[in-house]
Amino acid sequence: MTTPQVPTAPDGTGSPATRVLGIVALAAMALLVYLAFVATPRDATQGDLVRLLYLHPGLAWTAYLACGIATAASIQHLRKRTIGSDLLAHSSVEIGAVMTALTLVTGSVWGRPTWGVWWVWDARLTSTAVLLLLLLGYLALHRIDAPPEVRSRRSAVVGLLLVPNVILVHQSVQWWRTLHQEPTLARRDFDFGASDLMMFTMIYGFVALSLVFSWLLVQRFRVGWLEHQVEEAWLDEAITERRAEALGAEVER
Amino acid sequence: MAYMYLGWGISLAVLALYALSLVARGRRLTKSVPPERRRWTS
C-alpha cells in the first residue's frame, strides 16, 4: 500500500506558476535587449540614444501601473481593513518606487546629451520627482513604530494620493510648457517615420516590463505575507508569555 | 553610446538586484514560518 504524498511547503516565494512567469519575463527582457540593440537601426536624429527610449517609457508605464494598483488596494483597505489589501498596496508601492526612480534615472541619462543638462525643473520631471517622494513617504509611514493596523491605515491614506499624482505627471506636458515632449504614442497622427520595427520595439517594451512587474509583484506580495506571519508569530509568543507570567503571579498569591 | 549603455546598465542591474533580493528575503523568511502558513495556491 502506498501512502498519499503530502505536498511539501516551499522553501521560498516561488511556485510552479511564478517560475513559468519568471522565465517568460526573463525571455521577454532578453528579446527586448535584442530588439533594442541589434534588430533596430540607429535613429537619423538621435543616433544610438534612441535605444534608451525602448526602456524609459516602459519603466514609466510600470510606475503608473504600480500606483494604480496601490491606490485601488488602499481604497479597499480603508473600506474592509483586510491584510491582503494592505500587503498588495505596500508591495505595489515598493516596486513603484523602484520603477519611478529608474524612470528618472533613464530620463536624466537621455536628457544629458539631448538637452545638455542632467536635470531641469520642468513640470514633467518635477511632478515625477514628487511622485517618487510620495512613494518613499508611503514606505516610511509603513515602517513607523505603531500598531500594524494604525500604520496600514495611515499609509493607505497616502496611497489614495498616488493616482491623482500620476494624472498630474501624465498631463503635465499638456497643462504646462515643458522641455519634455508631449505624449507621442497617444497622438493619432503619430508616425515613427524611420521604421515600423522601432515603433514595435517601443510598444513591446511596455509588454516586457509589465511581465517583469507582474513577477516582482507576486514575489513581493509573498515576502510581505511571510513578514506578516513572522510578526504574528512573535505577537502570539509575547501574549502567551504574558499570560503565563500573569498565571504564575495568581498562583503565588 | 556611453549614455545609452549607462541607462540600460543601471536599469537592468537595479531590476536584477531587486529581484534577487526578493528571492533571498523570501528564502530567509520561510525558515521562520511554519509550513502550513507558506503554501502558495499556484
DSSP states of A206-247 as a string?
A: HHHHHHHHHHHHHHHHHHHHHHHHHHHHHHHHHHHHHHHHHH
Full residue range of the structural domain in which residue A161 is found: 17-182+194-233
Please answer yes or no on whether B10 and A52 come within 8 Å at the CB atom: no
Q: Could you tell me if B29 and A223 are in contact, meaning their C-beta atoms sit under 8 angstroms apart?
A: yes
Asked whether residue A9 is assigned to any structural domain, the reply reads no
The predicted model gives A210-224 an average pLDDT of 96
Quote the number of domains for chain A.
1
CA–CA separation, A115 vs A125, rounded Å?
A: 13
Of A151, A152, A147, A21, the residue nearest A88 (C-alpha): A152
Measured between CB atoms, does B14 come within 8 Å of chain A?
A: yes
User: A187 in a domain, yes or no?
Assistant: no
Determine the average pLDDT of the residues in A145-157: 91
CB atoms within 10 A of CB A15: 16
Question: Which of B25, B36, B39 to mutate against chain A (most A CBs within 10 Å)?
Answer: B25
- DSSP H or E stretch at residue B40: none
Give exposure, A214-236, as e/b (b: 16+ Cβ within 10 Å): bbbbbbbbbbbbbbbbbeeeeee
pLDDT tens per residue, range B17-38: 999 999 999 999 988 887 777 7
Beta strands, E only, A26-93:
none
Q: What Å distances lie between residue A138 and A91, A159, A160, A167, A222, CA to CA?
A: 11, 7, 10, 18, 19
User: CA–CA separation, B26 vs A213, rounded Å?
Assistant: 17
Any CB–CB contact under 8 A between A241 and chain B? no
**What's the CATH code of the domain at A78?**
1.20.120
The DSSP call for residue A186 is T
The upper half-sphere exposure of residue A171, i.e. CA atoms within 13 Å in the direction of its Cβ, equals: 7
Residue A253 lies in a domain: no
Place of cell 509573498: A222
Could you tell me where the beta strands, DSSP code E, fall in A37-89? none
Distance from CA of A224 to the nearest CA of B (A): 9
d(CA A64, CA A30): 23
Evaluate whether residue A249 is within a structural domain: no
pLDDT exceeds 80 at position A1:
no
Structure confidence by residue, pLDDT tens digits, A56-113 = 999 999 999 999 999 999 999 999 999 999 999 999 999 999 999 999 999 999 999 9
| Chain B nearest C-alpha distance from A240 (Å) | 18
Tell me whether residue A45 is in a domain.
yes
Q: How many C-beta atoms surround the C-beta of residue A130 within 10 A?
A: 13
Residue A32's DSSP bridge partners are none
pLDDT above 90: residue A46: no
Option in A52, A101, A219 nearest B7 (CB):
A52
CA-closest candidate to residue A50, choices A185, A158, A202, A253: A202
At A108-119, the pLDDT tens digits run 999 999 888 999
Residue A90 belongs to a domain: yes
